């Protein structure tokens, strides 16, 4: 049985006070949920990680980073290493979020270096994959996603890949209010799981958690989670409101 995993990607939103208040509100709200049954994480902007870790201390909320650099230290102006993230209490890290790929221009090669560095550095990476609208319309979803998963995991042995969570996030559904239908999401998740079985083995595939992301809201989470290969969510907009994020978490433990 895969334990559901729900994570909130705050992107470049909130300020220090908002971040603290959001965690306080969420921790309070989670008291009436059986949080043993789900893994929960938030990814704040770098500068708020420290205070979010402190505020989240006695709650079930783990903290992760939205990005990082693959080198462990040195002359890399503006970058943040996995050691630094661990030092301030991060457990998780996103790799290859669609905004990093399509707005900041990250390549599959760079993303693979980050996934590898996260594992070596003791962080749990979430590798994000997903097709653009024109790629879906051109029926290229399968090719794009297979390529992103293969390249993202390249060179990782079976023992290492078990630290990875995958997140399928169709780019056309991110922040647009358009969600993949539960069946569209399930089809891609099942295809990814089959690919993992081919690249590794069935046991690795059965254990790998695959989150769905893209306009996940309290009103669609339960139906999406009803699909057998959807193991939780990577939530953007709805993770900025304690009530909404809590409702999404509650939907996966029903």
User: Where on the chain is the footprint of ligand PGA (CB under 6 A)?
Assistant: 9, 169, 174-175, 213-216, 234-238
Which residues on neighbouring strands pair with residue 233, listed in sequence order?
6, 212
Q: One of 97, 106, 131, 135 is an active-site residue; which one?
A: 97
The nearer residue to ligand PGA, 124 or 200, going by C-beta atoms, is 124
Q: Which is nearer to ligand PGA, 175 or 226 (CB)?
A: 175
Q: Nearest 5 degrees, angle CA 29-CA 236-CA 53?
A: 55
Sign of torsion, CA 140 141 147 152? positive
Q: Among positive and negative, which fits the CA dihedral 166, 37, 63, 237?
A: positive
Tell me whether residue 169 or residue 231 sits nearer to ligand PGA (CB atom). 169
Nearest approach in angstroms of CB 11 to ligand PGA is: 7
Q: How far is the CB of 9 from ligand PGA (least distance, A)?
A: 4
Distance, in Å, from the CA atom of 106 to the CA atom of 145, rounded to the nearest integer, reads: 16
Active site residue 97: yes
Phi-psi region of 151 (alpha: psi -120 to 50; beta: other; left: phi over 0): alpha
What is the number of the residue whose Cβ is closest to ligand PGA?
236
Gap between the Cα atoms of 252 and 254, Å rounded: 6
Active-site pick, 99, 106, 135, 169: 169
User: Residues 163, 80, 123, CA angle at the centre, nearest 5°?
Assistant: 15
Least Å distance, CB 219 to ligand PGA, is 13
Q: What minimum distance in Å lies between the beta carbon of 85 and ligand PGA?
A: 19
Q: Which residue number, 121 or 236, has a Cβ lying nearer to ligand PGA?
A: 236
Catalytic residues: 97, 169
């Amino acid at each position: 049985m895969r334990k559901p995993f729900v994570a909130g990607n705050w992107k470049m939103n909130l300020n220090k006070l908002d971040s603290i208040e959001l965690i306080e509100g969420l921790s309070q709200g989670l008291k009436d949920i059986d949080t043993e049954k789900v893994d929960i994480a938030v990814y704040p902007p770098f500068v708020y990680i420290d205070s979010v870790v402190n505020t989240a201390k006695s709650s079930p909320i783990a903290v992760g980073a939205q990005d990082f650099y693959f080198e462990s230290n040195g002359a890399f102006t503006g970058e943040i290493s996995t050691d630094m993230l661990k030092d301030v209490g991060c457990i998780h890290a996103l790799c290859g979020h669609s905004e990093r790929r399509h707005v900041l221009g990250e390549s599959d090669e760079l993303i693979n270096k980050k996934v590898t560095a996260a594992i070596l550095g003791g962080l749990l990476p979430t590798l994000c994959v997903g097709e653009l609208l024109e790629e879906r319309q051109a029926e290229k979803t399968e090719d794009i996603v297979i390529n992103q998963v293969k390249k993202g995991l390249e060179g990782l042995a079976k023992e290492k890949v078990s630290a990875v969570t995958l997140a399928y996030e169709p780019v056309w559904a991110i922040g647009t209010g358009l969600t993949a239908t539960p069946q569209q999401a399930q089809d891609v998740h099942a295809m990814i799981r089959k690919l993992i079985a081919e690249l590794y083995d069935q046991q690795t595939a059965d254990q790998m958690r695959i989150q769905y992301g893209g306009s996940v809201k309290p009103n669609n989470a339960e139906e999406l989670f009803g699909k057998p290969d959807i193991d939780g969510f990577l939530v953007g907009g709805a993770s900025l409101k304690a009530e909404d994020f809590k409702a999404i978490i509650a939907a996966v433990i029903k």
